Chain A
Amino acid sequence: MQDELLLKVNDLRAAIDGKEILKGINLEIRPGEVHAIMGPNGSGKSTLSGVLAGDPRFTVTGGSATLHGVDLLALSPENRSHEGLFLSFQYPVEIPGVSMVNFMRAAVNAKRAYLHQEPLSASEFLKLMRQKRAIVELDNKLASRSVNEGFSGGEKKRNEIFQMAVLEPRLSILDETDSGLDIDALRIVAGGVNKLKTEHNATIVITHYQRLLDYIRPDFVHILYKGRIVYSGGPELALELEEKGYDWIKQQVDNEQQ
């Protein structure tokens, strides 16, 4: 593993509608690592991923976040993507009237423009789509449909990983990509993520379930509760949570606060 930091989050605070949700997040991720973030519903996991990706609903109220040294919070969402950040949405958005093909072409060529590369030719682009679709066994039929429109839950999640495969991010955040997947779909999605793993990129896996972590082995597990990372450990922590639930953590934290 390399020494330099891929992501450094320092005392990050964020609010929505004036309500503070993230209350000082600290997180360091190095290339090649997989970090799992777990935690009870409403603890701020999606908020953290949204803030890192630049979701305009959230206001950053303090702290910093850098991606390979670049100040993430100063960048537009599109430039965060170009710099190598990818968020697999907990709830992928349906975009009626925008076809998957046009959507992906715009995304690919925007990134290429950012990197001062020529746009892909039509045949290069189609070839790329074909290759990447295979990684998550995404049905060719979906390519001609509007983005996520009429996709099943599983198709939406596979579509997220497909997009990740196309964009080849440095840091991927998978926000509950496993929820709503049956075991076969889970295997395909997790398999896709593993195929895309290299020693240069890193993954944050947000999940409630150990079963995903059986496929995507985390190096670190963090527990997010009430807007803070209250506990960090190795892969065994996920197993412990699976067994004991969150109550012991909640009690511990809530007692400390009193």
Chain B
Amino acid sequence: MSSSNALDQYIELYEAQREAIDARAPEALNRLRPAALEALRAAGHLPRKGDEGYARTDVDAMFAPDYGINIMRVPSPVDVAASLRCDVPNISTLMGVVAGDEFRPTASLLRNLPAGVTLCTLSQAQREMPRVLDRYLGRLSAAAATDTAAQLNTLLAQDGVLLHVAAGVECEKPLQLVNIFNAGVPSLAPRRVLVVVEAGASARLLVCDHSQRPDVDYLSDAVTEIFLEDGARLDYYNLEESTPRTRRAAALFASLGSHARISINATTLQGGTTRNNCTIDLNAPGAEASVAGMVTGSDAQHTDNYTLVRHHAPRCNSTQLFKYILDDDASGAFEGLIQVDHGAAFTEAFQTNRNLLASDRATMHTQPQLEIYCDEVKCGHGATTGQLDARALFYMRSRGIPEAEARKMLMEAFMADVIDTITLPSLHERLRMLVERRLSGDRRGCGDCSASCPTPAIVK
């Protein structure tokens, strides 16, 4: 890349390949592209470090290397799904694999979906449920004109995943999407997910991000739009366990109707550079959002979570809990903004960010913000960054617990309340184990999965 502006190359690419892109994409996506292009041109560049809301993360640099995009939709090797067993013991999830940006549901997945639950490609949805796409796709992302990475996703995405749960249907079985990079060349995947949970329906979705080849550069440019109609409920878990050469710019948008409830847990166990934007709109009375996040960072890993929770209606409730453990030269950022509109009386909104620096080179930037335009609200935020409690550490060692184990136990204890936001017991246990493993660098217990994900230990 000669130009210092990564965005230009993607706009050029789009303009040169417009026909090829559109020809292989559902109409509902193509329709969104002109506005996205306009927004991108207006922005001029991807966010750079220091731009508003991007104090520590250079998105422009994340997009700069020359990544290939699978415009011609060359199918990925078929064995990906077979080789990968990102198994969550004791939960049988209904699992689909997204290789790069290609979702190919297996026959067994489709067979096992309960009545009223659709998990399919956007292309298929275009044919079979066009009205759902017309109504929802792009509605939230388009409104976020300044989220340039999200606009770029809209410009380039050629397919994606639809999860639709029909009104009143309770999908008992958790659904799982495994995003995987396995290409041998540097690749950008514009991943697009649309989740629509109709009135009174409920579902649980676990999304895992993996990279199979540690020696290849990957970039995930993801947009997830979630619509919860009145009384709907969704538990959404996102777990990134990728590689130092994986970058991820992910935007999640959720729009909640009356008494809808969303519970989000976004965990970055490992990765290269990660920027997650999470925007939640509580649009009607009684909606509830719980947003939790957990980061374990080592080496030069950089993880940045940005949240925007907007209370538009009375009697809505939101809690946020983000915790980071950063070791080595790892860096982290958390910025969170709670906005309470004029009409949002009796809002309860809280935000907590707590961080542990396990090395004196690790750094954390945290900036909680409140904007309240309404009386009669209960809001609060707090942020702390510190080291492990030296007194507790000595106390444990004085009882014979080796230092490394004591540190690990304290770190696990530190993360316990974030893990506790996961209500699905088996997944709760699984995540607890993954965190434990991440802290100790122990990969045992990963079953027969052939994706060899190296795990550097936090506690050496």
Contact = CB atoms under 8 A, between A and B. Distances in A.
Interface of A: 53-57, 76-78, 80-82, 86-87, 89, 92-98, 102-103, 106-107, 110-111, 114, 146-147, 163, 167
Contacts of A54: 394, 397-398
B413 A95 contact: yes
B405 A55 contact: no
Given A97-B416, A110-B405, A103 B396 contact: yes
A102 B409 contact: yes
A110 B401 CA distance: 6
Contacts of A107: 396, 399-401
Interface string B402-443: 110110011011101100000000000000000000000000
A134 B396 CA distance: 23
B392 interface: yes
B395 interface: yes
Contacts of B399: 81, 103, 107, 163, 167
A49 to B, nearest CB: 10
A107 B412 CA distance: 17
Interface residues of B, number: 23
Contacts of B111: none
Contacts of B1: none
Contacts of A92: 395
Nearest to B405: A106
Contacts of B444: none
B392 A77 contact: no
Interface string B379-395: 00000000001111011
Nearest to A148: B395
Contacts of A81: 397-400
A87 B394 CA distance: 11
Nearest to B397: A77
A93 B389 CA distance: 10
A81 B402 CA distance: 10
Nearest to A50: B394
Contacts of A146: 413
Q: Which 3 A-B pairs have the closest CB atoms?
A: A97-B413, A81-B400, A77-B397
A77 B398 contact: yes
A77 B402 CA distance: 8
Given A77-B397, A78-B398, A107-B399, 7 more contacts: A57-B390, A57-B394, A95-B389, A97-B414, A107-B401, A110-B400, A147-B395
B400 A111 contact: yes
Given A98-B410, A98-B413, A106-B409, A93 B395 contact: yes
Contacts of A77: 394, 397-398
Contacts of A56: 390, 394
Interface in B74-127: none
14 contacts: A56-B390, A76-B397, A77-B397, A78-B401, A78-B402, A78-B403, A86-B398, A89-B395, A93-B391, A93-B395, A95-B392, A106-B401, A110-B401, A147-B395
A4 B409 CA distance: 38
B388 to A, nearest CB: 11
A203 B376 CA distance: 60
Contacts of A53: 398
Contacts of B401: 78, 103, 106-107, 110
Contacts of B396: 95, 98, 103, 106-107
A106 B410 CA distance: 12
Contacts of B394: 54-57, 77, 93
A102 B401 CA distance: 11
B263 to A, nearest CB: 21
B436 to A, nearest CB: 12
Nearest to A98: B413
B387 to A, nearest CB: 13
Contact of B413 (A89, A96, A114): A96
Interface string B202-218: 00000000000000000
Contacts of A76: 397, 402-403
B105 to A, nearest CB: 40
User: Residue among A56, A107, A114 with the most chain B CB within 10 A?
Assistant: A107
Nearest to A110: B400
Nearest to B391: A93
A114 B409 contact: no
Nearest to A89: B395
Contact of A95 (B390, B395, B398, B405): B395
A57 B393 CA distance: 12
A103 B410 CA distance: 10
A37 B65 CA distance: 69
B397 A78 contact: yes
B393 to A, nearest CB: 9
Interface in B53-69: none
Contacts of A103: 396, 399, 401, 409
A103 B392 CA distance: 11
A116 to B, nearest CB: 15
B441 to A, nearest CB: 18
Contacts of A93: 389, 391-392, 394-395
Contact of B412 (A97, A111, A167): A97
Contacts of A147: 395
Nearest to B411: A97
User: Residue among B395, B397, B400, B414 with the most chain A CB within 10 A?
Assistant: B400
A94 B396 CA distance: 11
A88 to B, nearest CB: 10
Contacts of B391: 93
A188 B351 CA distance: 45
